[in-house]
Amino acid sequence: MNFLRRRRAWITTPLLLAIFIYFWDLYCRLSGIHPFIVPRPGAVLDQYLTMVQTRALWEHSWITVFETSVGFFFACVIGIGGGAILGKVRWLEEAMRPFVIATQVIPKIALVSLFILWFGFGPEPKILVSTVLAFFPILTNTLLGVKSVDLGHKDVMKSLNATRWQTWRMLELPSAMPAIIAGLEVGVVLAYIGAIVGEFAGGTKGLGYLTLEYQNGFNAPGLFGVLIQLTVIGFALYLLILGLRRSLIPWHESVLVERPAVPA
């Protein structure tokens, strides 16, 4: 019984997916809608299985993953480094806050156009957009984590004559790590979206560009197939960060509640 309770998601999720596909197919059959508009699930699956056997899909997928990974890496460097510094220097945080917020309120499609003007139609504009979208939640979560360290724990470190580096390494960084990981979980999704948005606006390769290609060819099953591929890759990126959570903060409550209880 306990095993079933712990694994209910493994049953519920496929069941919900099956129900969704059933009603999707039922709607296509009963409504009489043209497959040109909404194809049936079987046609989408056939198209996707055909696509995964082609080299083109994986080349476009690799481009998108590359742009996302590089953008996410830069976002982590800027976000974690900047958040740690701003969390320690109050006046600098107040001075930089308007500039950080400005990067988020500007429409990203406008940034894509500007980056294309500066760097052309290569991967650089997509990487920059990916970085701009992803660094904000990483920075804010790092900042929050650093500022939320218990003052009593800091006093203990002072009483032990710990240096600033020792306090950071042994207290502040571990204490801030759950918040940082939470920022990474949001950041990797936004980095992925940023790369795709960049490919929409000015790409010649990548899954965003492939989506536009199928759209211009009025290939609805192909569009759904690209959406499936985008979803699979997005889940994979998110699961990597979840794995990072389990490896870096195995002691945290968010990880412990996912583990089965050990019988006494």
pLDDT tens readout for residues 86-107: 887 888 878 888 887 877 777 7
Q: Which residue has the tokens 């939320």?
A: 148
- Which residues are CB-neighbours of 28 under 8 A, at least 6 positions away? 35, 38, 39, 40, 41
On whether the pTM is more than 0.95, the answer is no
57-256 classified as CATH 3.60.21.10: no
For residue 60, how far is the Cα from the chain centroid?
A: 18
Domains in the chain: boundaries: 57-256
Rg (CA), the chain: 23
Please answer whether residues 223 and 150 qualify as being in contact, where contact means their C-beta atoms are separated by less than 8 angstroms: no
Averaged pLDDT, 217-223 = 84
257: pLDDT strictly greater than 90:
no
| Residue 37 pLDDT level (bands cut at 50, 70, 90) | confident
